[in-house]
Amino acid sequence: MKFSGEKEIKEEKNKQKQVKFVKIFNLFFLLNNIIFLTKPIFMNKKDVAWTVCCVFLVIALLLSIVLGVMGFYSAVTYLSLDSDLIVGDFVNIPILPNQTNVVSMTFDSSFLPNENIPQTIQISGQNLNSDVKVRVKAQVFGLEDGTFDFITTEHFVLDDDGYYYYDDTLKGGNKITFCNYVVTPKENPHKSGEKYILSIIVENLESKFNVKEIWNNVQ
């Protein structure tokens, strides 16, 4: 049986592949330009000032390539997807500083409206080497209307932006529990026989940063 959100996920993966192809093409294009520029400079030009200026430009281009590659890989690898889980399974999400993790679970249309489903989601900071602030959000693929609520632990507070914010600091080596139950929408928008994908998005930033200002600008 196909998931209702399968189309959206495939489209997202195709977009990521297209972005990767464009990035790689641009890198080859820049490298080719560097070779083209430097060859006549060092073979034909005698003027020292001109040579120094061109070398400076080459270094700037190389630096932009390095930064572009670093940005590309950080944008791709910050996601950790797992679609083998189903709603009700115990979920442990290990995090590293300044990353976003996404864990996906499938659920079917057999649940009743406003039903409390046992669901423990744990966030692990065992690999953290610094203190972080944490926020969590849920996204449902294939469900046009209706939102899921969570019966969270006492330290998570739901804000107007749809994120649940951890009101303390997660220290390295510790674990926190986000929720113990997931609550289905009050009005059942599910289609009979369909399956859906519930994604839990966990974001964190080191507490040394101005976390509130950064997150206010990144919704």
Q: Are 169 and 132 in contact (CB under 8 A)?
A: yes
Beta bridge partners of 199: 104, 139
Residues 52 and 145 in one domain: no
The number of distinct structural domains making up the chain is 2
Q: Report helix, strand and coil shares of the chain as percent, to nearest 5.
A: 35, 30, 35
Whether residue 109 sits in one domain with residue 28: no
Percent of the chain with pLDDT over 90: 37
* Span 41-76, pLDDT tens digits: 555 545 566 566 566 666 656 655 544 444 433 333
Separation CA 50–CA 40 (nearest Å)? 12
Closest alpha carbon to 82 in 198, 204, 189, 207: 198
Q: How far is CA 61 from CA 29, 37, 76, in A?
A: 11, 11, 23
Last residue of a domain, one of 17, 52, 77: 77
Same domain for 127 and 169? yes
Tokens of 36: 């083209």
pTM of the model: 0.62
Please indicate, yes or no, whether residues 188 and 113 belong to a single structural domain of this protein.
Answer: yes
Residues 58 and 151 grouped into a single domain:
no
Residue 90 belongs to a domain: yes
CB atoms within 10 A of CB 28: 9
State the pLDDT at residue 196: 83
Residue 128: domain span = 85-208
Strands (E), 61-163: 85-86, 91-94, 100-108, 116-124, 132-141, 149-152, 156-158
Q: Residue 153: helix, strand or coil by DSSP?
A: coil
Does the residue 116 lie in any domain?
yes
The pLDDT value recorded for residue 133 is 96
pLDDT in tens, 154-204: 899 999 999 999 999 999 999 999 999 999 887 766 666 778 888 999 999
How crowded is residue 3: how many other Cβ atoms within 10 Å of its Cβ? Answer: 19
